[in-house]
Structure 1
Amino acid sequence: MSARALVVGDVMTDIIVRPEGPIVPGSDRRASIRQRPGGSGANQAVWLGAAGADVTFAARVGAGDLEAHAAYFRSMGVSPVLAGDADLPSGVLVTILDPNGERSFLTDRGANLNLSPQDLPDSLLDGIGLLMVSGYSFFVRGPRLAVQRLLGTARERGVAIAIDPASIGFLAEVGPALFRKWVSSADWLFANEGEAELLAGEADFDMQMRQLGQQFTHVVIKRGQFGAVLGGRDGIVHSRSAPLVEAVDTTGAGDAFAAGFVAALLRGEGHEACLAAGVEGGARAVQFVGGQPR
């Protein structure tokens, strides 16, 4: 496998709101409000860059923001291939944090909604060992068709494919059967507990592995503070607990996990070491506000 990764996904600006107490309808509540770069695909790409991986990131942003976004990604060790949208602004995500660091989201995907086949030429796959696609790209027809075409080319070329379902809310909206049909076969699935249960239709981890392993060669289930498990059609193969850390903000933790895992995979490390690297990345990410490394 080539040690280069291509990530396709959203670019967002995260507005992170931490109220001092319960929100009061029709009145004020003091809060800490911070702005950070975000987007599931962007997070994964930047965390991969931070891990020393050779990574290219393809996405669509508002035309007025293109140069600023490109400069930012380059500064984070990522090679950006960004298309500028003249009609829609770059995406924005409002994250509301509760006292336990759990999140609720309000999403305006903006220019991400117009990702097109022209934004994802086959040449992006030249020299690529692994293509990583955020599930957000499947939930709207235009980006879905663009990504499906690129995935088809990747399969023809023997490029490994990794899928991150990305959103339990959108998954539930379209239904697991349709999402799995859209994605088709892939080498890797990185799902959190809720996504894995919904996609598999099973509550038991081992049964989830066996069920999802019929479609995905390797299945990784991210369990947050409880670590992660890895397996496939024969059930769970490896399990890794997470270190005890203070969770300040869980935004991007799953992306950091996937990036840590993939970076180790691209270095040629074994699956157990990859799982440990993923858990380490996720644990690091929850200790500060924002979805990308500082």
Structure 2
Amino acid sequence: MSARVLVIGDVMTDIIVRPEGPIVPGSDRRAEIRNRPGGSGANQAVWLGAAGADVLFAARVGAADRPMYENYFRGQGVVPALAGDRDLPSGVLVTILDPSGERSFLTDRGANLNLGPDDLPESLLEGVQLVLVSGYSFFAPGPRMAVQRLLQAARKEKVAIAIDPASTGFLEEVGPAVFLGWVGAGEWLFANESEAELLTGEADFDAQLRVLGQQFSHVVIKRGRFGAALGNRDGVRLNQPAPIVEVLDTTGAGDAFAAGFVAALLRGESHQTCLAAGIAGGAKAVQAVGGQPI
């Protein structure tokens, strides 16, 4: 068993809509509609469990749903540390897929918005080697304060910190400088191409790595069908291609990548092997509908 990873992030129910053609305003369009478990943090935790990692997942859900979610995560090889919210329901995300597999989101974060310090006690860090935090946790004041406090404790305990920015839409709202200030220094950053460009103002991924490497010891840029690159303040160290696969749904591909990478990292694998494991995880994710392994 590898060292433990603590994942902090959202729990959502994903409602996935695949229209048969363009949506017609004011009229009907036949579509395939499915419910799937989701949320960036939940996706990462479940993919980590599938990769054999020792994973603890901290999040907040509607109180009525808590037993169901606890059973679900245990069944996926994840140790749940879930708080139950009596005021807000569990989060819901509507995903609309276009024919290429690209997606658009409508988000109601629900109970995730009430994640607080009592939900993230320092005791969660016991036996943990790395904390992986979804960027969504920084975009509301309450969760942000709770996460920042736990990350401060992690730094004191010499626990590695990994950040996944998670959303260009939210990053654009708050601005890259504000977001990076909220996050603080960390050992790892997992960003996709759009997030890296937004955070740095640079279009070239070597330049992005150099800029982001000023704040994070190691930076991984997820490049979709082009694979991924790993580097630091000195630029690109590793760059690997992705296999050509049929893309059904890109939801959760970045989460699967981060999970594959982190699981290999905690097993003590080389960065090259970790990058390959992340790419393999992302490639597997896009071949099925939904953000978690089936």
Question: Which of the five TM-score ranges fits, normalised by the shorter chain?
Answer: over 0.9
Partner of 2:93: 93
Q: How many residues align?
A: 293
Offset of residue 3 of structure 1: 1.1
Q: 2-side partners of 1:183 and 1:173: how far apart?
A: 16
Offset of residue 186 of structure 1: 0.4
Offset of residue 134 of structure 1: 0.3
Q: Within 5 Å, which residues of 2 pair with 1:185-204?
A: 185-204=185-204
Q: Within 5 Å, which residues of 2 pair with 1:22-101?
A: 22-101=22-101
Aligned residue for 1:129, secondary structure, equals: strand
Partner of 1:268: 268
Q: 2-side partners of 1:198 and 1:232: how far apart?
A: 17
Offset of residue 17 of structure 1: 0.1
State the 4+ residue runs in structure 1 displaced beyond 4 angstroms.
none
Amino acid at match of 1:171: L
Q: 2-side partners of 1:3 and 1:265: how far apart?
A: 10
Q: 2-side partners of 1:222 and 1:248: how far apart?
A: 18
RMSD: 0.5
Identity %: 76
Q: 2-side partners of 1:204 and 1:16: how far apart?
A: 33
Q: 2-side partners of 1:100 and 1:112: how far apart?
A: 30
Offset of residue 154 of structure 1: 0.2
Question: 5+ residue gaps in structure 1?
Answer: none
Partner of 1:293: 293
CA-to-aligned-CA distance 1:174-202 (integer Å, 9 cap, x gap): 00000000001000000000000011111
Partner of 1:258: 258
Amino acid at match of 1:174: V
CA-to-aligned-CA distance 1:212-241 (integer Å, 9 cap, x gap): 000000000001111000000000000110
Q: 1-side partners of 2:31 and 2:226: how far apart?
A: 29
Partner of 2:222: 222
Partner of 2:237: 237
Q: TM-score, normalised by structure 2?
A: 0.99
Q: 2-side partners of 1:208 and 1:289: how far apart?
A: 31
Aligned residue for 2:128, secondary structure, equals: coil
CA-to-aligned-CA distance 1:104-163 (integer Å, 9 cap, x gap): 000000000000000000000000000000000000000000000000000000000000
Q: 2-side partners of 1:48 and 1:93: how far apart?
A: 21
CA-to-aligned-CA distance 1:9-62 (integer Å, 9 cap, x gap): 000000000000000000000000000000000000000000000000000000
Q: TM-score, normalised by structure 1?
A: 0.99
Q: 2-side partners of 1:44 and 1:73: how far apart?
A: 12
Partner of 2:117: 117
Q: 1-side partners of 2:235 and 2:188: how far apart?
A: 15
Aligned residue for 2:56, secondary structure, equals: strand
Question: 5+ residue gaps in structure 2?
Answer: none
Aligned residue for 2:21, secondary structure, equals: coil
Amino acid at match of 2:72: Y
Partner of 1:150: 150
Amino acid at match of 1:280: A
Q: 2-side partners of 1:174 and 1:141: how far apart?
A: 12
Amino acid at match of 2:69: H
Aligned residue for 1:44, secondary structure, equals: helix
